[in-house]
Structure 1
């Protein structure tokens, strides 16, 4: 069963309960963030980058450390193009299933992989999106204690089950609004369609007057 119809409901329920997560940007500003999880992937991510380059879009990527270690040159290229980088854990393991030490090690190992690949200070990479969107108050407490910034989403087209390019794109368009954070996937699950979905969505969103920004800019909107 596809869960896409329930994500807008979950968003409205969870957002006020966990206000320290970034769920969206400024609702008075026509800015949106295009974000991608589970990469970098050696085939799907370069296809996506061509689309982003065509429209000069700066996106935000939440990487798995294992994928960074497998594709360090690609990770460096993405960073050099000006895209924002965040953490998704070393492996795609739901954070509540990890012990506090395992979670801390997973995030630190991913930071190190990104720092080595992109030649940047590891402390600059502190935005975290939990795999599967799953977290607990205890997980959030650990993230805040270790100076991480938890990032969620407001528009989820469930592209990882591959409902079709038109379906995924139309789901985004039906739920988009000022400050929206769109989550897509450029990894093994969903990455096959990601460049085509992006190519479908971006001109439609630009036509509606939206401006694409990074997750970091959305944080600055929330805490000027």
Structure 2
């Protein structure tokens, strides 16, 4: 298990060319995983803050808004976003994010290698071409337990983005055979166990399961709510 949280983030100035300060933390890096991940990260903007517009040519990106309200800028078009909104940014899309609310805006960032880049690193691709029905970018809402299929936008092997809720005391045992999983706790408490390892689960805690591993997630007395992203991994188990 790779366990991390949003405590003690780095202070970043002028992110993507925009004046001002933001905060950022990396939860898991692609070099630690077998699949076509670039990184799993967390970021926060103060009121009025801007993450500058930039073009995605090498990677694709998932933003999941956690707190606050703002506007996602997709190829120059502004769309309001708030908690539970999921933004999929495909290759060739320019995007930025503006905090328009009175509170900090925080979001989960999952960056994925595009097929050509994944091939260079020997981590894909599972899908190499965009078909005519695919969109370069799209905003979904996932405010309640449920899931979306990112493959209408993204070209890589990310299969599922879901919001999951476990009742008090409920357990869910998951395995990362042929896939890798990353979780982010939204609310509640619980514990993750994998073999002899154990980690507490609480809001703003991230849990990533590399290929060939597994864990049991058990909710505490107040239940447990989390986001989960599932990515298929081509090839065999790591040595």
Output the TM-score relative to the length of structure 2: 0.29
Which one has the bigger strand percentage? 2
Output the TM-score relative to the length of structure 1: 0.30
Which one has the bigger helix percentage? 1
